Amino acid sequence: MSEKIKPTLLVIDDSGFMRLRMKKIFSPFFHIEEAVDGTEGLAKIRGRGFRIDLVLLDINMPGMNGIEVLKALNKDGGFISLPIIIFSGEEDLQLEALNNGAWDFVSKDEAPLILRARVKNVFDRSLMNRVKKENALINNVLLNIINYSQDLIFEWNTLQDSMFFIGNIADKLKVKSNLNSFNQALDEGDFIYPPDIGLFRSSINEINTENRYTHEELRIILDDGEIRWCKFTFYGEFNKYGNLEKIVGIAADVNAFKEAIDAAVDKAEHDSLTGLVNRAAFESFYELVSKQRVNTAMLLIDVDNFKAVNDSIGHLGGDHVLKLVANRLRNCFRDTDCVARVGGDEFAVIMSDVKSKFNLIDKADKLLDIIREPFGFDGQVLHQYISVGVIYIPQTKKLNYLDAYKRADLALYESKANNRNRYTLVEKE
């Protein structure tokens, strides 16, 4: 048995000679921890600085004796499954110890082979009890998941590319409960919401023989088109050659939780005048989108000559213009994009899943045309213009938020330096 996977045996005895003897007898099979009295032993058990799998406890010790240690552990109530063997040759003390939770007793002068056999029997019995409890717990959890929740249990045979789902929500999926070509269904967007497919694969790729667990929050697609947030927990199973054979796990439905969180932070994340998200939420959205394997773009927008707007039609008129620009921006972009007011007369947009740079150019042209359309205020017909800086970021060339913002800001400065009412587009090199 290697040192890394040896169980831990705690020897509590005031005799240094006895602790040394136990160490020589059991060190080939256990990692040995020692305590010189009941007080120290109890502190080590309660401390849980390391896992203790078995305890050898002397009954007759100065200060806190073995019976008092047992009673203290019984009072705690959390150590009923910890196997404790006492050292005692006195029948009345043996009986008292057994009545207070000891699993067995041995004599200090037992032959080493007898000591090892009796300790092994107790340790094996504790392992069986632990496995039974863990199995019962797992079965109860799985039964609850299957019968009462919207969670999914799945098994993906990576060698055969077959996927099996079970759970109440399994019948509501866009895909079948038994799939023979899971990768194809995944690529076609029939299971994971397309913008999250790259994140799904990245999470799977983190699994290896040393790190078998991984988890990620992803969106799935139901048969009726509904998109739901789930927290996926993946566990990889490997064959003897170290090849990944299966990935099993749970997709826990966290949609209600996500909606509750969204509702709670909605007010804090939105600008009170325009209803658009603010700078902090804009940055958070960029960080989320940048993790997805899609083309993205950032647009920074200034309302041209806004001081002159305030001077000519007043601050109420200025507010009207800001709300007008916000509404036109909102109508120009998709629900999957993020439109924000990041300053007084400054707006910004993050576009996710941009098809190409040429689509982005078309969008910028359309945006300028929409903003230029005349509008009425206080009996006047007015026109408003904007300057725009755009950074296009292909999925293979990611930028952090600050670098993307700086480059878009430089593009905006160029638009303003060239008489405004235009856009400048730059691309990640």
Q: What is the pLDDT along the chain (429 residues), one digit of tens a residue?
A: 444 578 899 999 999 999 999 999 999 989 999 999 999 999 988 886 667 889 999 998 999 999 999 999 888 777 778 889 998 878 788 888 888 888 888 888 888 888 888 888 888 888 877 777 766 666 666 666 555 566 788 899 998 999 988 877 787 888 887 888 899 989 988 899 999 999 999 999 999 988 888 989 999 999 888 898 988 999 999 988 888 999 998 888 888 877 776 776 666 678 888 889 888 889 988 988 888 888 999 999 999 988 888 888 888 888 999 999 999 999 999 888 999 998 889 999 999 889 888 989 999 999 999 999 988 888 888 889 999 999 999 988 888 999 999 999 999 999 999 989 899 999 866
Contacts for 97 with CB less than 8 Å, ≥ 6 apart: 59, 66, 67, 70, 86, 88, 105
Determine the pLDDT at residue 1. 41
Domains of the chain, CATH where assigned: 3-143 (3.40.50.2300), 149-257 (3.30.450.20), 270-427 (3.30.70.270)
Which residues does residue 390 pair with via DSSP β-bridges, in sequence order? 299, 425
Cβ atoms 121, 209 nearer than 8 A: no
DSSP state of 379: T
pTM to 2 decimal places:
0.42
Say what the alpha-carbon torsion angle 300, 304, 306, 308 is, to the nearest 10 degrees.
170
CA-based nearest residue to 82, from 59, 116, 53: 53
Listed in sequence order, the DSSP H helices in 149-246 are: 182-187, 197-205
3-state class (DSSP) for residue 191:
coil
Determine the pLDDT at residue 355. 87
Gyration radius of the chain's alpha carbons: 33
Q: Rounded CA gap, 359 and 375, in Å?
A: 27
Q: Rounded CA gap, 374 and 366, in Å?
A: 15
Place of tokens 């709670």: 264
Q: Rounded CA gap, 411 and 389, in Å?
A: 4
DSSP state of 321: H
Tokens (6 digits) for 373: 């359309």
Tokens (6 digits) for 117: 């056999």
Cβ atoms 331, 370 nearer than 8 A: yes
CA-based nearest residue to 220, from 270, 165, 173, 271: 173
Determine the pLDDT at residue 166. 82
CA-based nearest residue to 408, from 307, 304, 292, 283: 283
C-alpha of 99 from chain center = 45
> 82's torsion region: left (phi>0), alpha (psi -120 to 50) or beta?
beta
In three-state form (DSSP H/G/I as H, E/B as E, the rest C), the secondary structure along 317-381 is HHHHHHHHHHHHHHHHCCCCCEEEECCCCEEEEEEECCCCHHHHHHHHHHHHHHHHCCEEECCEE
Listed in sequence order, the DSSP H helices in 373-400 are: none
Q: Rounded CA gap, 411 and 423, in Å?
A: 8
Calculate ∠ Cα 232-234-236, nearest 5°.
170
Cβ atoms 297, 360 nearer than 8 A: yes
Tokens (6 digits) for 330: 């909102």
3-state class (DSSP) for residue 125:
helix
